[in-house]
Amino acid sequence: MIEIENLKSLVDIDEFFNDWKIYRAAERSIEIIAQAIIDVSSHIIAQRKSGVIPSYMNIVVILFENGIISKELTNRVANLIGMINIIIHEYLEVDLKIVFDSIESVIKDGIEFVKAIRAVLGRA
């Protein structure tokens, strides 16, 4: 997460919009964070036999229903997963301003997710 955290302090929004390497790096970093959340969530759900995962969007709901993450974090991470689906599958044209503006919240949510998982695993 350090790379993406530094990105926003290194470039302004105009640079971000005009340099495809910068916004692709941001998209990829966000994708990696989201995929890590999905992978860890899947593992915990499978290990605890907490249910069947009908879709990635539901994965964090199952964690919430099992008291692992808060409702607020559930909503934010579900939005992150939705954004990643748009970026990866190009369902819609990606709004680079939304990607740029989301960098800080993705970092914050990723850190909050790690803390919640560590607490559950007894590694707080």
Which residue would you say has higher pLDDT here, 12 or 116?
116
The closest of 23, 20, 56, 51 to 38, measured between CA atoms, is 56
Comparing CA positions, the residue from 83, 105, 85 lying closest to residue 95 is: 83
N- to C-terminal Cα separation, the chain: 19
For the chain, the average pLDDT equals 85
**Structural domains in the chain plus CATH codes:** 2-121 (1.20.120.580)
56-113: per-residue pLDDT in tens? 778 999 999 989 999 999 999 999 998 888 888 776 678 888 888 888 899 899 999 9
